[in-house]
Amino acid sequence: MAGARVLSIRPATADDVPLIRQLIAELAEYEKLAHAAVATDDDLRAQLFGERPAAEVLIGEVDGEPAGFALFFHTFSTFLGKRGLYLEDLYVRPAYRGAGLGRHLMAALARIAAQRGCGRFEWSVLDWNQPAIDFYRRLGANGMDEWTVQRLEGAALHALAARAEL
């Protein structure tokens, strides 16, 4: 087929840290959250490739060029008694959208979840990001509209930690 693009997915290595940080910055800009993307290369290297990695990353390439990434980690479901796989970030650079890389990254994550005996594969999506929501629905995902995300961070996190009594 003339013009077919070659898609590949590989696990990230520590050498990919600058690329990962750049892709995170691009995602943050797209999500209108650039001010929140403060992770440094050193932060990412320690958390992704240190003694106890907190998450894993897949790098997606199109025709050998870095085109996107997926960052994920494990959760645990007390109801299922099994691990889950949580997708923190999925991003495909605009120039490569429509090539099928997002679908391939999601399929790779689903395979990892199945191979590792996970009972769930979950992620969050911004409610205004209709193209992403439509993409996930086409993959067969169900919205969990009855759930809301709750978060403690910064001063609120530290204030609660300081109040905690034994």
Contacts for 73-79: CB closer than 8 Å, 24+ residues apart:
74/116, 74/118, 75/120, 75/122, 77/119, 77/120
Give residue-wise pLDDT tens across range 99-117: 999 999 999 999 999 999 9
Is 1's pLDDT higher than 50?
A: no
Q: Domains in the chain, ordered, with CATH?
A: 7-163 (3.40.630.30)
Band (pLDDT 50/70/90 cuts) for residue 166 is low
Is 35's pLDDT higher than 80?
A: yes
For the record, the structure tokens of 10 come out as: 């590989």
Q: What is the predicted pLDDT for the residue at 165?
A: 67
Give residue-wise pLDDT tens across range 56-82: 999 999 999 999 999 999 999 999 999
Q: What is the predicted pLDDT for the residue at 4?
A: 78
Q: What is the pTM of this model?
A: 0.92
Measured in degrees and rounded to the nearest 5, phi and psi for residue 149 equal -80, 135
The total number of residues shown for the chain amounts to 166
Return d(Cα 128, Cα 100) in angstroms, integer: 22
Catalytic residue among 86, 91, 96, 136: 136
- Known catalytic residue: 91? no
Average pLDDT, the chain: 95
Buried b (16+ CB within 10 A) or exposed e, 126-163: eeeeeebeebbeeeeeeeeeeeeeeeeeeeeeeeeeee
pLDDT, average across residues 29-51: 97
Q: What is the predicted pLDDT for the residue at 17?
A: 98
For the record, the structure tokens of 154 come out as: 């910064």
Crossing angle between the packed helical segments 17-30 and 41-49, to the nearest 10 degrees: 110
Band (pLDDT 50/70/90 cuts) for residue 158 is very high
pLDDT, average across residues 37-52: 98
